[in-house]
Amino acid sequence: MSAVPNPRPSPSANPNPYAPPRARVRDIAAPKEQLVLAERSSRLGAAIVDGLIFAAMVYIPMGIGVAMSAVSGDESGVFALLGLGLMLAGLGVWLYMTLKQLSATGQSLAKKYFNIKIVRSDGSPASLGNIVWKRNVVNALLGIIPLYGIIDVLLIFGEERKCLHDKIADTIVVEA
């Protein structure tokens, strides 16, 4: 007696040869030798422009409210509260725009303009948490140490072009 093959094999035993591939694909980091470190001037320009954007969105609205309060002689503090409200609104908009951009591309608003971005030292994308906590919050807390800010910035003149906050967060800034 000969065995007759099953005319309808199970779908898992014989997958559709015309189906699209089902491989899980991850983004592969660019090899380190392909990464081009950002110029020091681009990083400085981006830092200055980011500071100006922050000032325009946070400090200027607050200053307008305080100035209006002083000029009008408003003793009730309505204009001061208006300035505080405008400052908080500006801070909220700035945080939303900056965090959205950082999580999507590893770039702040000015870094996008200067065509540079933050990546991990191995070339893989830097996480938003790594950028915010290690590069910004820890760096700000260390800023209370006298002369820390100067040392942080001066380290960019090393061979690696890494500031101290880059070393803390294990990141580099490269051309996008």
Could you tell me what percent of the chain has a pLDDT over 90? 60
Assigned domain for 29 exists: no
Query: 172: helix, coil or strand?
Result: strand
Assigned domain for 60 exists: yes
With 0-12 / 13-18 / 19 or more C-beta atoms within 10 angstroms meaning exposed / middle / buried, residue 16 is exposed
Assigned domain for 22 exists: no
The residue segments making up the domain with residue 147 are 35-175
Assigned domain for 94 exists: yes
What residue spans of 3-118 are helical by DSSP H?
40-54, 60-72, 78-105, 109-113
C-alpha–C-alpha distance, residues 3 and 5, integer Å = 6
What pTM does this model have?
0.74
Assigned domain for 128 exists: yes
Could you tell me what percent of the chain has a pLDDT over 70? 87
User: pLDDT tens digits for 46-67?
Assistant: 999 999 999 999 999 888 888 8
User: pLDDT tens digits for 96-141?
Assistant: 999 999 999 999 999 999 999 999 999 899 999 999 999 999 999 9
Q: What is the number of domains present in the chain?
A: 1
Largest CA distance in the chain: 108
